[in-house]
Amino acid sequence: MLFACLAAALGRAPAMAQESVADFYRGKTFSIVIGATPGGGYDTYARLIGRFIGKHIPGNPQVTPQNMPGASSNVAAAWIYNVAPKDGLAMGAVTPGAIMEPLLGDQVRVRIDSTKFNHVGSATRDVFVCVVRKDAPVRTFEDVFSRELVVGAVAEGGSARDFPLLLKNVIGAKLKVVSGYPGNRELTLAMEKGEVQGVCGNSYAGLLVIRADWFRPDGIAKVLVQEDMNGHPDLNRDGVPLAINFARTPEQRQMMSLLYEELLFARPYVMAPGVPADRVAAIRKALSDVLRDPELLAEARRMNLEIVDPLPGEEIQKIIARMYATPADVVVGTRRAMKE
């Protein structure tokens, strides 16, 4: 009789835990803090997820996206890590660059430890590219080793600054990097106005969402090179080269690989350290479930958004730990390469 009661109690335990999480979230507001300006790729993905994730969170809370741009999403990452309540009611939509900032960025301003974030998951894998205006002075990527190309960039720590500097300082691309644009929306406008001739470190999938007209036969831009380990199937088919194949030494390839590996978790979502484990587990499951939701996938197709190889938070946690264990000499070299 004792064993029967014990077995029944153990069988009820998961249901009781689920009910406890549901009770917590019921009637509350769950915030998605977006570390980017409105209208760009990170904002678009986060708002799409925000429309559907509520029905997958136990208790079905109201979901409210809010933008907190600044320092290439480092402001939002620091807010989630240091300021947000540790109750599980806030999730950050940040850039991979913000997660890598403690390893590769400004060591003075770092206010987070990315290995201690509760990584919720990533919406998609991505491929970053350099795009150029068709009237730019370069026709192929090989041309950038002999002719200067003016590219727009965001603040330090953002991929649209770090990626072109890596090309410039590691493999010798003649890029004039003009930093200071607030976000990708402003960068694309600068491209259209002719203020800059190109943009690097930009999501190909994101560009197809916000500037698909660029790549039509009569469009203003083309993809010059892929900043990725393997490339996008469509671009590979079109013969667009991989930047990493222009590395001349194993050391150069290691440095480029360290930066490009972050694209495995291209649209990451994080929660603060200290959030109760059962709530982290519930939000991880909700994100995983919503990325398989037929309604969300249909809307993503309509918006031309790619949902490719989404990663669960547990897997990202392992990748982050591995990247932060990179040999010090490779880290120092990569960090130096991303400085002006």
Q: Per-residue pLDDT for 12 more than 50?
A: no
Sheet of 62-67, strand order: 62-67, 29-34, 90-93, 268-271, 118-122, 311-312
Is residue 132 domain-shared with residue 103, that is, in the same domain? no
Taking the C-alpha atoms of residue 228 and residue 207, their distance in angstroms, rounded to an integer, is 16
Q: Rank 95-104, 154-163, 182-191, 290-299 by mean pLDDT and report only the highest.
A: 290-299
- Which residues contact residue 339 at a Cβ distance below 8 angstroms, ignoring those fewer than 6 apart? 165, 169
Q: Per-residue pLDDT for 184 more than 70?
A: yes
pLDDT tens digits, residue range 255-286?
A: 999 999 888 898 999 999 999 999 999 999 99
Domain of residue 288, residue span: 2-125+266-337
Number of domains observed in the structure of the chain: 2
Domain boundary among 216, 243, 262: 262
pTM over 0.85: no
Q: Which of 54-58, 107-111, 238-242, 326-330 has the lowest mean pLDDT?
A: 107-111
Residue 304, pLDDT score:
85
- Which residues contact residue 38 at a Cβ distance below 8 angstroms, ignoring those fewer than 6 apart? 67, 185
Is residue 138 domain-shared with residue 222, that is, in the same domain? yes
Q: Per-residue pLDDT for 2 more than 50?
A: no
Task: Write out the DSSP string of 271-301.
Answer: E-TT--HHHHHHHHHHHHHHTT-HHHHHHHH
Is residue 253 domain-shared with residue 281, that is, in the same domain? no
Q: Per-residue pLDDT for 310 more than 70?
A: yes
What does the mean pLDDT of the chain come to?
A: 91
pLDDT band at residue 158, thresholds of 50, 70 and 90? confident
Is residue 172 domain-shared with residue 230, that is, in the same domain? yes
Domain boundary among 262, 296, 317: 262
Q: Which of 6-20, 69-83, 108-122, 130-144 has the lowest mean pLDDT?
A: 6-20
Is residue 37 domain-shared with residue 59, that is, in the same domain? yes
Residue predicted with more confidence, 125 or 60: 60
Is residue 212 domain-shared with residue 168, that is, in the same domain? yes
Domain boundary among 209, 240, 262: 262
**Rg over CA atoms, the chain:** 21
Indicate the residue type of 155. Answer: A
Q: 41-52 vs 277-290: helix axis angle to the nearest 10?
A: 100
List the CATH number of the domain containing 137: 3.40.190.10
pLDDT tens digits, residue range 36-45?
A: 989 888 899 9
Indicate the residue type of 80. Answer: I
